[in-house]
Amino acid sequence: MKLVFAVIHDEDGHKVMDELNKNGFSVTKLCSTGGFLRAGNTTLLTGVDEDKVNDVIAIIEKKSKSRKQVINSSMPPNGMNGMFMPYPVEVVVGGATVFVLDVERFEKV
Max alpha carbon distance in the chain (Å)? Answer: 72
> Per CB under 5 A, which of residues 4..33 are in contact with Ni ion?
9
- Nearest residue to Ni ion, scored by beta-carbon proximity: 39
The Cβ of residue 27 has, within 10 Å, a number of other Cβ atoms equal to 19
Question: Residue 27's binding partner, choosing from Ni ion, its own copies, none, with beta-carbon cut-off 5 to 8 A by kind?
Answer: its own copies
Judged by the rule CB under 8 A, the positions of this chain that interact with its own copies are 1-3, 5, 7, 17, 21, 26-36, 41, 43-45, 47, 53, 57, 60-61, 64-66, 95-109
Choice from 1, 30, 31, 39 touching Ni ion (CB under 5 A): 39
Q: Are 73 and 86 in contact (CB under 8 A)?
A: yes
Cα dihedral 23, 108, 12, 5, rounded to 10, equals -110
